[in-house]
Every structure is written in C-alpha cells, then in structure tokens.
Structure 1
Amino acid sequence: MRILSQAVLSGILAFSTAWVNAGGLETLQKFNADTDGISGQFSQSVKSKKRTQTTAGTFAIQRPGLFRWEYTQPYKQIIVGDGNTVWLYDQDLAQVTKRAQNQTIGDSPAAILSNKTALNANYSLSDDGSSNGIDYVRALPKRSNTGYQNIRIGFKGENLANMQLKDSFGNLTTITFSKINTHPQLNRAQFKFTPPKGVDVLTQ
C-alpha cells in the first residue's frame, strides 16, 4: 500500500471554518459541535527521511461515520468509509482493500472527522501559537498506540488552512485545504462503494 494511502486513512481529518475573533482551539471546538458535513479539495505531502511524496484530490465527509477521499493526481485512488467498512480502491493495481471501519480509524484523525465525540475523548487539545497568519491547535493522543506523535490543525482567518501529522516513525504529513464547503449537499449514495468487476478484493 502506498504510504500516502495509510497517511490519509489516518489523516482524513479535522476540517473547519474559523469564527471571527475566536482562537484556534475555540474555533475547532465550535466546528466539532456544529458541523455535520464538509467537502473540498486537498493537496498532500508525506515527507520521510529519504523522500517526499505529493498528491492531490477531493474529499467529502458526512457525520456520523461517512467519508470519501479521492486522489486524482498523480494516480487515482479512492478511500470510502461507509460507517461499517473502509474501502481502499487502487485503480493502477486493480485492487480493493476492505477493513472494518471501527478497527481501521480507531483514535485516528479520521475518527475526529466522522464522530463528534472522538475529538475530546481521544486527544488533549491546546492552542499552539501562530505562524504566517495561521493559528494552530495541537492535538496530543491520550493513548500511546495511535501511531501519531502529534497533530497540528491550522486556521487562517475564517478558513481551515492545513493539517500537519507527525507519525511514530517521524514522517510528516501535511494536508493543505482549498474550496472548503461546510454546508455541502451530500447524498448518502456517495459513501457507498461496490468493487468493480475483475479487481482483487483483500480483507484485512
């Protein structure tokens, strides 16, 4: 599995629109309480000691429990969470990986997106200063088995700017968001996935 795929399963992640005069933490908490759906575009980079990989695509999230993350560049790949199962379809490999959703996302940032109670239950949150006009919140996992050292969520003005996720191996995933819509018209059918004919389906 490509490293970016694992990053996004663990990094599908805490999107938001900031409120005027609110600090990063207050903004994130308000988003977590009030937002039921979100969509937009993303660019993503995963930086390891040896190389940096970049991708781009689109996403959609509907609470509770539904998400769709599509890579469009430089390859095509789809990750869908339907509330029970996470499906990862790699078109180049003609392969689908199927996993139980509660076991896949656990305490990950994906859980923050799809379930309102996960944020405060699984992370210790604090304001983390500002840089280049972006206000940051730091999320530290309360348990040591999440795979992440820390997550930083950045807001610029009224919009989410980026997320930075540092994993237990020291790899840094940065996701930059654009064209955010916090009131998307989403159809539940968008979060259904049927493996195409002829592809290998692996269950993990």
Structure 2
Amino acid sequence: MRMTRWLVAFVMLCVAGMAQAEQGSKTLQAFYNKVHTLSADFQQVQRDDNGNVVQQASGTFLLSRPKEFRWEYKQPYKQIIVSNGKVFKFYDVDLAQVTVRDIGATLKATPALLLTGGEALNDAFKITDGGKHDGLTWVHLTPKAKDTDFKSVDLGLKNDVPALMKLHDNLGQTTSITFGNIKINPKLPESKFTLHVPDNVEVVDGRANGKGQDGAH
C-alpha cells in the first residue's frame, strides 16, 4: 500500500483544532475559522537524504471539515483514499483492491488521531512558529511520541490556506506537497466522500467487527 503517514499527517492538520504557536498559530486558526470545504490540486515530490528525487505524483484533494476528505492520485498511478467520517477506504486501482478500516483503529495506529481535532493536536505535537519565508507563514510540528515514522512536519500557509507541506522522515527523506488551484468553501456533494467499490475488486476489511455499517459502500 502506497498510502504513507505523511498524507494522514497533512489531513489531520487540515481538520484539527487550534495549535499553540505564535504567528503560525494565528494563521492556522484563521484557516480553521474560514474554511469549511476545500478543493485543490497537488504535486508531490519525495527526495532521499541526498536530495535526489525518488518519486513524483500528482492528483486532487477534497476536504469537508471536520472529518471528510478525498485524496486521489491520478499520476503516475491511480489510488483513492476516502474518509466519510466513519471509515477510511483505500482503493488501489492498479491492484484492484480496497482496504477498509475503522476510524477508531486508524486513528490509534497513525497521526490521524488528530482528526479528532481540538487539544489532540497539542497533545501529539510540539508546535513552534516557523516564521515567514519564501512568501509563506510557517508552522513547525515535532511529534511527541517516539514511535512515529517522521521526525517533523513543516506547514507553509499563504492567505491563511495551506500552500506547501514538507514532511521529514526518520530515513532522512523529505516529501514535499505543493497545492494549486485552491478553492475555498466550494459546494462538495456527499458522494465525493463515498467510495463505491466495483464488484470485481477485492475488499480487505480491517474493521474490528468485519463488514459493518459504515455509511458507505
């Protein structure tokens, strides 16, 4: 599965509550205050510890706070990651496989715990003001837990909206995600956060009680 924790780290930042940093906190809080829905394109670049590009990808991102999102890779592979607020569904089109997980189980296993919002952000991260540079206002987050896959996250905001996210992992690699064509508070139908699984696709149900009622099929 190519879904990595930097993705969940970014999404939880978008849906979480207030951070306790200085200027970065104010800018992040302004984002939470004014953004209820969001759509954007993204370009993702992963570099190794020598700065060499090891992977590139692009796609679209939809957000409906507090817990619904759709992250869709379109190039060079096709994958869809959806949360309807009750379950996560990860659809690898190339593998013809969908993985389903409870929100609770997923939140316990990853930084998506912060999807719960509020003080969870402060409980899980040390948050500092990253200052202003490259035309962006930055927030720097360091996980308090020692068993995470990444060392830190830098989130750059422009006009109170995330524009660039950099995740630094424990192997010295950096994943950068640049957002473009950002639309604030567009009308997003609920169907965007529901994944309809084709009949010929394998479903791996990782929920505690097996196939349960999740509000999406």
Q: How high is the TM-score relative to the length of structure 1?
A: 0.82
The reply to whether residue 74 of structure 1 matches residue 73 of structure 2 is no
2-side partners of 1:145 and 1:162: how far apart? 25
Residue 196 of structure 1 is matched in structure 2 by: 198
Q: What secondary structure is seen at the aligned counterpart in 2 of 1:12?
A: helix
CA distance 1:76–1:82, change in 2 (3 Å): same
Question: After superposition, what is the alpha-carbon deviation per residue over 1:65-97, rounded to whole angstroms, capped at 9, x for unaligned?
Answer: 111011111121100012121111111111111
Asked if 1:14 corresponds to 2:13, the answer is yes
Identity %: 36
What secondary structure is seen at the aligned counterpart in 2 of 1:193? coil
Alignment of structure 1 residues 34-53 onto 2, 5 Å: 34-49=34-49, 52-53=54-55
Partner Cα separation in structure 1 for residue 64 and residue 146 of structure 2: 28
Shift of 1:187: 1.8
- Per the alignment, residue 84 of structure 1 pairs with 86
Cα distance in 1 for partners of 2:158, 2:128 equals: 17
- SS of the residue corresponding to residue 93 of structure 1 reads coil
Report if aligned partners of 1:65, 1:81 keep a CA contact under 8 Å in 2. yes
Which runs of no fewer than 5 residues in structure 2 stay unpaired?
16-21, 207-217
CA contact (8 A) 1:14 1:109 kept: no
Q: How does 1:15-164 map to 2 (within 5 A)?
A: 15=14, 23-49=23-49, 52-106=54-108, 110=112, 112=114, 114-117=115-118, 118-157=120-159, 159-164=161-166
> Could you tell me which amino acid in structure 2 is paired with residue 184 of structure 1?
P
**Aligned amino acid, residue 106 of structure 2:** T
Contact 1:77–1:89 (CA<8 Å) still a contact in 2?
yes
Structure 1: where are the runs of 5+ without partners? 17-21
* Per-residue deviation, 1:15: 4.7
Q: Distance in 2 between matches of 1:29 and 1:141?
A: 20
CA distance in 1, matches of 2:102, 2:182: 28
Q: Output the CA distance in 2 between the equivalents of 1:57 and 1:106.
A: 27
Say how many residue pairs are matched.
196
Q: AA paired with 1:28?
A: L
Q: Take 1:104 and 1:68, find their aligned partners in 2: how far apart are those partners?
A: 16
Q: Does 1:173 align with 2:175?
A: yes
Q: Is the 8 A contact 1:149 1:167 kept in 2?
A: yes
Do the aligned partners of 1:67 and 1:82 also contact (CA within 8 Å) in 2? Answer: yes
Q: CA RMSD in A?
A: 2.6
Q: Deviations over 1:94-149 (max 9, x none)?
A: 1111122233244856555x444143343222111333222211012232234321
